[in-house]
Amino acid sequence: MQGSLLALCYQTSQMKRTIFIISLILLSGLITVSFTKLQQEFVCTPCGSDCDKKVHSKGGVCEACNMALVEKQTVKFKSITPKQVCDLLNDTSVVVLDVRTPGEYNGSSGTNYGHLKRAINIPIQELEKRINELNGVKDKQILVYCSHSRRSPRASYMLNTHGFSNVTNMSGGMSQWDAACTKWLVK
């Protein structure tokens, strides 16, 4: 009887130790998960302003432009200069998307910056409802531009959120077009 009691005490002690170790493992996992959540970074929904570069520790609204703060990891497009765009356009598989108004695109309103050859014109105001028009080129590289790079970052982000993974924004827009690169310009 005494041996059975001793064995039962030993088993109970082992069980408590096992439960303690499992609890520690679970607790450390919770701490890791909580730490990961603390490490999340948020940025302004791309709007083309300097506030795009500011990193926040929690979600909310950008105090500069009133756009929603989104997880930084969801902003996946890259930006390149107009000079780099001139070289990129040598690749005829690149899809070119102009997100300005039709008047800006054809030069009939405001400053006539012209547009790039092969450009598809879908104004930013219509992109959300017309995004299905681009589904056939979802697997291709898409170059997005506007006049001053205020609308094109937002359009690039919108494309990312709809599953377009190879999106490139032209920094500065057509107002910064490289005068030496005329072969892609239509005026």
- Asked whether residue 89 falls in the same domain as residue 127, the answer is yes
Q: Indicate whether 174 and 94 sit together in one domain.
A: yes
For residues 19 and 170, give the distance between their C-alpha atoms in angstroms, rounded to a whole number. Answer: 58
Query: Residue 124 belongs to a domain with what CATH number?
Result: 3.40.250.10
Q: Are strands 95-98 and 142-145 parallel, antiparallel or unpaired?
A: parallel
Cα–Cα distance between 11 and 71 in angstroms, integer? 49
Q: Average pLDDT for consecutive 10-residue bins of the chain (187 residues)?
A: 49 59 57 57 94 94 95 95 96 98 94 96 98 96 97 98 97 92 93
Q: Has residue 144 been placed in a domain?
A: yes
57 and 112: one domain? no
Helix (H, G, I), strand (E, B), or coil: what is residue 183?
A: coil
Residue 119, token pair as written in the block: 């450009």
Regarding whether 106 and 50 lie in a shared domain, the answer is: no
- 54-63: long-range pairs with CB below 8 Å, 24+: none
Residue 123 lies in a domain: yes
H-type alpha helices, the chain: 2-38, 82-88, 102-106, 124-130, 152-161
At 69, which amino acid appears? L
The token pair that represents 141 in the structure block? 């590289």
Query: Per-residue pLDDT tens for 43-52?
Result: 999 999 999 9
Burial zone of 159 (CB within 10 Å; 0-12 exposed, 13-18 middle, 19+ buried): buried
Q: CA 180, CA 173: separation in Å to the nearest integer?
A: 15
Q: Are residues 88 and 169 in the same domain?
A: yes
pLDDT of residue 154: 97
- 148 domain-assigned: yes
pLDDT number for residue 39? 75
Give me the domain span that covers residue 131.
76-186
- Whole-number pLDDT of residue 9: 46
| pLDDT of amino acid 134 | 98
Among 48, 74, 100, give the residue marking a domain's end. 74
Give the model's pLDDT for residue 5: 46
Tell me, what's the pLDDT at 64? 94
Work out how many domains the chain is built from and give that number: 2
Q: Give residue 6's pLDDT.
A: 45
